[in-house]
Chain A
Amino acid sequence: MLVRMLVQNSPAQPLTFLRRGQPVTLPAVPPDRTLLQVLREDLHCTGTKEGCGEGDCGACTVVLGEAVDGRLQLQAVNACIKLAHSVQGQAVFTVEDLAVDGQAHPVQEAMVQCHASQCGFCTPGFVMSLFALYEHTGGGQGVDHAAAQAALSGNLCRCTGYRPILDAAARMGQLPCPAGARVDEAAVLRGLRTLGQPAPEAPYQRPATLQALLQARAAHPEAQVVAGTTDVGLWITKQHQRYARLLDVTGAAELRRVETYPHHIAIGAAVNLTQAYAALVAERPSLAAFAHRFAGLPVRNAGTLGGNVANGSPIGDSMPLLIALGASVVLMRWDTKRRAVAHRELRLEDLYTGYRQNVMRADELLCWIKVPRPSPDECLQVDKVSKRFEDDISAVCLAVKLRIDGGVVREARIGAGGVAATPVRAPLTEAALTGQPWNEDTVMAASAVLRDEFRPISDMRASADYRRAVLGNLLRRHWLAQQGQRGLRLESLDLEALA
């Protein structure tokens, strides 16, 4: 009851962002209000729609513009689970903002000409995802179906079957672009510089430096830590949780970087999933297909790798891969006595103690994820199995990294998701492989061990039996792939030959 009273009296704070080149200021917005609520209910801009309230349908897609290293970074995100204060000091573009003097934006014109709206409810979201793609491709240049499918992976349409929308994506770059339709980067950056920052003691804080972030954490261990709120957003919209105080890690400049060292890369906790996976794929190009299956684009743009890891969901897709790669996490805190930053480093699999539970202290933050760089003899395979290819949650996720030398498995690291209460290593299977000759008998034996190593649950994603069966089969695929077998995956089919 005390908690509820506290929350109901929770102080609201001013919010300012840039829209259509002008600052928009709301004097008092509660810290846990969503951007979609602000747009629809406070500003009465109803062009942006709510389809699901959990970031899975994309009807609420808006584009955010943020100054990053002197450039304007534009990204499509889901407004329904984006907290309003997270866009403090940024530029917000909605579907109402694209037309210039009543003249449709090329994205909009292409959607009309391709008959790409039927009921029209998902349409504003598609328009905004395409708008981001338009800007990212220098005015929609060279956009084919594959690029459009990737850009639209977080937008659901129930009417069209998507073909006309994909056509619109390909056509938008061929239409004349009215003067003023392109985002004027310099003007937006100028506008952003005029926007202020909230007071240091405001209930929603997004400190600009790592030290300020850690100090804020030390001062307010009760605050809910957030990054992209692609999960916490649902605690608000679906579980109706209220938060009087939130600490957003994504503003800390140091944590927005990916740093490369001789033996590892370090991914800051504020790096979004789009960029984090780009870094992982740059190190290991074979991860590209897996990266594409991680959620939809607006979720990858908003969510962070650090958030995915810290949240610790047993079906989070990053952890099996990171565990197999031997990643570690760096936890940091502000030591108030020594007035200095303290840190410790853990193997990722040692972070978790139970279902969404971990070893972190109340004043600690997960700040860095360190991923070893590939060795030449590394054999890596990661698989995600789900009902739908795009934007789905794993029934099973399995990452296997082997080092094979002289026909013998010298090292095996296996990470698995969807099989236990936390993301886990598979030590028994690793033991069944390590030191054994790399042959079919070993693989069959290890597959049997892997099937029995965990006691997965049956739920709406898959039965326990299915999960077990697939675990073993995925190890088998690894073997077949290592034997030089080709065409082992649906993704590898030559689809273009069919068209």
Chain B
Amino acid sequence: MNAPDTALLQRQATSAAGASRFHESARAQVAGAATYIDDIPEARGTLHAAPVCSPVAHGRLSGFDTAAALALPGVRAFVGAADVPGDPILAAFGHDEPVFARDSVQFLGQVMGLIVADDAMTARRAARLVKPRIEPLHPVLSVHEAHELKSYVLPPVHVARGDAAAALARAPHTLDGEFEVGGQEHFYLEGQIAYALPLEQNQWWIHSSTQHPGEVQHWVAHALGIPIHAVTVECRRMGGGFGGKETQAGHLAVWAALAARKTGHPVKLRLDRDDDFMVTGKRHPFAYRYRVGFDDSGRLSGLRIVMLANCGFSADLSGPVADRAIFHCDNAYFLEDVAIDSFRCKTNTQSHTAFRGFGGPQGVIAIERILGDVARHLGLDPLQVRLRNLYGMGERDQTHYDMKVEDNILEPLMTALARSADYGRRRAAIEAFNARSPVIKKGIALTPVKFGISFTATLFNQAGALVHVYTDGSVMVNHGGTEMGQGLNTKVAQIVADELGVPFERIIATAADTSKVPNASATAASSGTDLNGRAAQFAARHVRDNLAAFVAGLDGCGAGAVRFLGGDVITPKSTRRFEEVVNAAYANRIQLWSDGFYRTPKIHYDKLTMKGRPFYYFAYGAACSEVAIDTLTGESRVLAVDILHDVGHSINPAIDIGQIEGGFIQGMGWLTTEQLVWNHKGYLQTHAPSTYKIPTAGDLPPRWNIDLWPEANREDNVHGSKAVGEPPFMLAISVYEALRDAVAQAGGDPEAMNAPATAEEVLKALGG
């Protein structure tokens, strides 16, 4: 009678999932023993490459003088467009990027070729001695100029629901505004790197620091003009990705492979940090123009918004990024009559790319800004206006792309956070503080996030995994996902351990490898665990089923009666050690390994109409931030942050909290100190950590409370969990709104403040 309870207790005592297991690589990482690509012992004859970058933002390229570079001792070769045996255009989404610049250069930093040398410093030194012959052309550097010239990398997209014009015409109040939000450098601590090794018979082994080994494999094969199966791409781990190694890693790998092909040697290409800044794409800067209508209570009754995405010189992932900005410009709010115009502007800068949130942050910040302004316009508390506009339960619950919001927990979540953060009392206290503080002024804001989980391109929502059980009972799992620090391998190992009922320590997760799991999607869209975790669970389940059937045969019971717990295999008749069963199964020629495959159910989406259910579910959260500004210099500090975030039933709370904290601080950097500055020639002046400032340990707010929402995912997702990589990033928009609140309380004009809210930007909004 007590059996179910006993089983539950045992499961809690022995299960890996739900526990804060240490990161599977933590012990190696703290000892300096975790291997990144630059740490792999080099094969004999390895050469090193460095990029030759365009010194102008736009021009006609007619050739190179390489004599001085090639004369430098230790230099082996110049590799350029003429050395590409396959397609000279990269196999990117838009098929619009040359492998190496050929007849034109389109941004300052564009790679025109490589120098290959005996060591990296010689290659870098020589690369600067290559003199390109370039006739400069007018560069388009501003998104506004691009829009005026109708210079786009992809056609504009318009999404509408209802009749925004009519709604605006009859709205009691309207407000117009325009603002800009800057881009962001990924600043993964490990810069971009690839190491290409020629194998026999025109086959290739590529070590790539990539979130998408399958894409790297495809790109390399495409550039070399060989079938995909001739290229193997491996990635044990990245020293950070954040979206910056989704497509950008492919460039490095292609270049290294071409250099290796030309020289016949293994070639490593590790970008110097400054080159990394100059060459690779960033988060898309956006510019916005809007008109919003609303009633006396602040409830929106019509919105027209124009979004200009600065895509840089090529499409890269700009289409889906700009699409996601459209999907998320509602954030948590019901937009009844809305018209959105999205322009994908082509400028002569780096080609902007995926970055945590993938356009979502650029959509969410737009509506949060608008609601903040609406509230101030009416003299209302912004939190009340936000709550008033939330999606309803059973009504007002259809998004502008026709997806019903079925799992909405925002109202209770935000209310709970407002209570635990003591929002009301603190708002009053801040007003009192400001009344007596002449120079320092404070502000506060509580903003939500609702983030759609799934790749909007439905086909990518599939994953594969392999689980191998060896005769000693040790287990190896391999899946299509990549480890960039987010703890994917740890979570997958926890899932597999539970499925086989063995201790977590018995599982090893190995390097992503295109020769093991083929055609894997990028580890992106926060979906790593949802997809690969489930695929690994299924693979482990197949092995377990084989073992269960085998043991059931031995004990004369049904396979369903066999349980796998705590390293034991338990039938109504007997309990055996897992390794004992494995050994016996092997002797009886039972398959001890299997594949697993998963595809996300329910999702569908029409690219042309942009309607459907692109997301399997939503992840929710909210943050309350308090800030202070110095009205003499515009400098600011974040003083207090309270977060309540929804990760469903967490597979690993420590890892999930780590994602929430890291995402928030990264988002805070995007909106405060991280400013990308291009000069009038298109030269990125902030191209190193000396000039581009990400948050430091000193920027961690003194008050810092993170809580997890207790409920499981209402959709059937692995262990009841929810994705966590990207959604918390947007919680940092509360910092930006709090800064605007402080500016308003100081008598400044918060509508004049763009992002990032650098000291200069804040002082400008204060009229200083």
Checking A57, A460, A489, A490 against B691 with a beta-carbon cut-off of 8 angstroms, the contacting residue is: A460
The DSSP consensus for interface residues of chain B is loop
Interface residues of B in 333-373 (CB under 8 A from A): none
Task: List the 3 closest A-B pairs by CB distance, nearest first.
Answer: A47-B32, A119-B485, A121-B239
Is A496 in contact with chain B by the CB < 8 A criterion? yes
The answer to whether A112 touches B26, judged by C-beta atoms less than 8 angstroms apart, is yes
- The answer to whether residues A49 and B239 also contact, given A54-B689, A476-B632, A493-B637 and a CB cut-off of 8 A, is yes
Interface residues of B in 546-568 (CB under 8 A from A): none
Q: Can you sample 7 A-B contacts with CB below 8 Å?
A: A44-B41, A49-B239, A95-B32, A121-B188, A152-B696, A157-B189, A495-B639
1/0 per residue, CB under 8 A from B, across A226-250: the answer is: 0000000000011010000000000
State the Cβ distance, A157 to closest chain B Cβ, in Å. Answer: 7
Interface residues of B in 21-38 (CB under 8 A from A): 22-23, 25-36, 38
The answer to whether B189 touches A49, judged by C-beta atoms less than 8 angstroms apart, is yes
State the Cβ distance, B399 to closest chain A Cβ, in Å. Answer: 30
Is A379 in contact with chain B by the CB < 8 A criterion? no
Chain B residues with Cβ under 8 A from A40's Cβ?
38
Chain B residues with Cβ under 8 A from A395's Cβ?
759-760
The answer to whether B696 touches A477, judged by C-beta atoms less than 8 angstroms apart, is no
Interface size of B by CB at 8 A reads: 94
Is B655 in contact with chain A by the CB < 8 A criterion? yes
State the Cβ distance, B601 to closest chain A Cβ, in Å. Answer: 30
Q: Which residues of A contact B (CB under 8 A)?
A: 8, 40-41, 44-54, 56-57, 59, 94-96, 98-99, 104, 107-109, 111-113, 115, 117-124, 127, 145, 148-150, 152-153, 155-166, 237-238, 240, 296, 383, 385-393, 395, 459-463, 466, 469-470, 473-474, 476-477, 480, 485, 487-490, 492-493, 495-496, 498-499
Q: Considering the complex, give the chain B residue whose CB is closest to the CB of A383.
A: B633
The answer to whether B635 touches A393, judged by C-beta atoms less than 8 angstroms apart, is no
The answer to whether B238 touches A119, judged by C-beta atoms less than 8 angstroms apart, is yes
CA distance A107 to B30 in the complex (A): 9
Chain A residues with Cβ under 8 A from B73's Cβ?
8
Q: Considering the complex, give the chain A residue whose CB is closest to the CB of B270.
A: A50
Q: Considering the complex, give the chain A residue whose CB is closest to the CB of B35.
A: A46
CA distance A119 to B487 in the complex (A): 8
- The answer to whether residues A119 and B637 also contact, given A49-B190, A159-B658, A389-B699 and a CB cut-off of 8 A, is no
Chain A residues with Cβ under 8 A from B242's Cβ?
158
The answer to whether A54 touches B190, judged by C-beta atoms less than 8 angstroms apart, is no
Q: Considering the complex, give the chain A residue whose CB is closest to the CB of B274.
A: A238
Is B437 in contact with chain A by the CB < 8 A criterion? yes
CA distance A149 to B697 in the complex (A): 6
The answer to whether B702 touches A499, judged by C-beta atoms less than 8 angstroms apart, is yes
Is B102 in contact with chain A by the CB < 8 A criterion? no
1/0 per residue, CB under 8 A from A, across B237-248: the answer is: 111111000000
Checking B25, B665, B758 against A161 with a beta-carbon cut-off of 8 angstroms, the contacting residue is: B665
Checking B189, B686, B688 against A119 with a beta-carbon cut-off of 8 angstroms, the contacting residue is: B189
Is B273 in contact with chain A by the CB < 8 A criterion? yes
Q: Considering the complex, give the chain A residue whose CB is closest to the CB of B685.
A: A460
Chain B residues with Cβ under 8 A from A155's Cβ?
696-697
The answer to whether B240 touches A119, judged by C-beta atoms less than 8 angstroms apart, is yes
The answer to whether A164 touches B658, judged by C-beta atoms less than 8 angstroms apart, is yes
Q: Considering the complex, give the chain B residue whose CB is closest to the CB of A475.
A: B632
Checking B25, B239, B628, B685 against A490 with a beta-carbon cut-off of 8 angstroms, the contacting residue is: B628
CA distance A299 to B698 in the complex (A): 16
The answer to whether A108 touches B693, judged by C-beta atoms less than 8 angstroms apart, is no
Interface centre among A107, A121, A476, A487 (most CB of B within 10 A): A121
Q: Considering the complex, give the chain B residue whose CB is closest to the CB of A128.
A: B32
- The answer to whether residues A51 and B190 also contact, given A118-B485, A385-B635 and a CB cut-off of 8 A, is yes
State the Cβ distance, B486 to closest chain A Cβ, in Å. Answer: 7
CA distance A243 to B688 in the complex (A): 24
Q: Considering the complex, give the chain B residue whose CB is closest to the CB of A8.
A: B73
State the Cβ distance, B745 to closest chain A Cβ, in Å. Answer: 15
Is B332 in contact with chain A by the CB < 8 A criterion? no
Checking B487, B661, B759 against A387 with a beta-carbon cut-off of 8 angstroms, the contacting residue is: B759
The answer to whether B639 touches A493, judged by C-beta atoms less than 8 angstroms apart, is yes
- The answer to whether residues A463 and B637 also contact, given A104-B30, A156-B696 and a CB cut-off of 8 A, is no
State the Cβ distance, A34 to closest chain B Cβ, in Å. Answer: 10
Q: Considering the complex, give the chain B residue whose CB is closest to the CB of A154.
A: B696
